[in-house]
A and B are shown apart, each in its own frame.
Chain A
Amino acid sequence: MKNTVTYALALVVGAVMLFATGMPSAAFASESVAIVKTLDGEATIIRGDQRMPAALGSTIEENDVVETSASGSVGLLFEDDTQLSLGPNSRATIDEFVYNPDQSGSFVAKLWKGTLGFITGKVGKTTPENVRVETPLATIGVRGTAFVVSVDE
Chain B
Amino acid sequence: MYFLRAAVVATGMALLLGACAGGSENSEPRTRYTSAERVKSIRSIDWTIFQQALHMRYGEKAEAASSGGESDFFVDRAFTASYGGYLLPEELEEQNPPTDEATILAAARDRLLNAYDKRARVIVPNPSASAQANFDCWLYKASHGGSDSDIEQCKIGFADNMEQIEAALAPKPKGSIILLDGKVLVGDAVLDERCDEMKLDTKDRSNVKMDGTNCEMDDNMSTAVAALPKAPKIFTLYYNTDEVLPTADSSADLEELAGRIIENIQSRQHREVMVSGHADRQGSENYNMTLSENRAITVRDRLIERGVDSDSIQLEWFGESQNAVDTEDGVAESANRRVEILVR
Contacts and interface: CB of A to CB of B under 8 A. Distances in A.
A137 B228 contact: no
Given A37-B270, A38-B269, A145 B224 contact: no
B182 A115 contact: no
B327 to A, nearest CB: 24
B181 to A, nearest CB: 4
Interface stretch (B96-104, B171-179, B238-246, B314-322): B171-179
Interface stretch (B30-38, B215-223, B273-281): B215-223
Interface string B190-221: 01000000001100000000000000011011
A143 B182 contact: yes
Interface stretch (A1-9, A19-27, A80-88, A96-104): A80-88
Given A37-B229, A138-B187, A138-B200, A148 B270 contact: no
A137 B200 contact: yes
Nearest to B229: A37
A145 B224 CA distance: 16
B330 interface: no
Interface of A is mostly: strand
Contacts of A114: 220, 224
A146 B268 CA distance: 20
Size class of the contact patch on chain A: 35 or more
B232 interface: yes
B226 A146 contact: no
Contact of B231 (A83, A88, A117): A83
Nearest to A138: B200
Contact of A142 (B184, B226, B269): B184
Interface of A: 35-40, 56-57, 73-77, 81, 83-90, 113-117, 119-120, 135-153
A75 B223 contact: no
Best-surrounded residue of B182, B217, B228, B269 (most CB of chain A within 10 A): B228
Contacts, number: 148
B113 interface: no
Nearest to A89: B220
B183 A150 contact: no
A56 to B, nearest CB: 4
Given A38-B269, A56-B270, A143-B185, A150 B221 contact: yes
Contact of B228 (A117, A144, A145): A117
A77 B232 contact: yes
Given A85-B225, A117-B227, A137-B173, 6 more contacts: A37-B344, A56-B269, A115-B221, A137-B175, A148-B178, A151-B174
23 contacts: A35-B344, A73-B224, A74-B227, A76-B229, A77-B232, A77-B344, A85-B229, A86-B224, A87-B227, A115-B224, A119-B181, A135-B175, A137-B174, A138-B200, A140-B185, A140-B186, A141-B186, A143-B185, A145-B182, A150-B177, A150-B218, A150-B220, A151-B174
A150 B228 contact: no
